[in-house]
Amino acid sequence: MPIATIESDAELLAMPASDYMNDAQMTFFRARLEAERWGLETTLEQTRATIVESRGDGDDADLAANEEALGLALRQAERETRLLRKIVTTLRKLDDGDYGYCEETGAPIGLPRLLLRPTATLCLEAKERQEQREHHYAKRRSA
């Protein structure tokens, strides 16, 4: 029997809770993650080419501007590389059947949260607890 396809976010959100992470939903998120991975890989290739092509010609002002642009490109490439790794890890979770469930509690992460952040690994409550702990530790370090 073929897997039903989900055409929109609204259609996904309209599904009953009992259908959570069924084959159609898994296929929907796989397609979204694959598209994001492809886009990131393309952008990273372009960023790497820009970095390689950047040259240090010109006066001191040109060199400084070029160095600043190169630094920005490197930071962007680093962020994109981290996100790409998260996407690959998330696709593995899809393969293993663990996608959509909180790593901390095992509870469903929820479709609205996954639509906003398909690489989410924590449900909203667990993420809020994590952020509170981080905020608490940051306050203690600065005191």
The domain that contains 82 carries what CATH number?
1.20.120.910
**Residue 87 placed within a domain:** yes
> How many domains does the chain contain in total?
1
> Which is higher by pLDDT, 84 or 74?
84
- HSE-CB at 33 with a 13 A cutoff on CA atoms is 26
More confident residue, 54 or 43: 43
Domain with 95, as residue range(s), is: 9-142
- State the sign of the Cα–Cα–Cα–Cα dihedral 81, 87, 92, 93: positive
Is the pTM higher than 0.85? The answer reads: no
Query: What residues contact 127, with CB distance under 8 A and at least 6 apart?
Result: 120
* Whole-angstrom distance, CA of residue 46 vs CA of residue 126: 36
Query: Looking at the domain assignment, is residue 58 inside a domain?
Result: yes
pLDDT digits (tens, 9 = 90+) for 87-126: 999 999 999 999 999 999 999 999 999 999 999 999 999 9
Q: Is residue 78 one of the residues assigned to a domain?
A: yes
| Residue pair 100/79 in contact by the 8 Å Cβ criterion | no
SS (H, E, C) the chain: CCCCCCCCHHHHHCCCHHHCCCHHHHHHHHHHHHHHHHHHHHHHHHHHHHHHHCCCCCCHHHHHHHHHHHHHHHHHHHHHHHHHHHHHHHHHHHHHCCCCECCCCCCECCHHHHHHCCCCCCCHHHHHHHHHHHHHHHHHHHC
Residue 1 maps to a domain: no
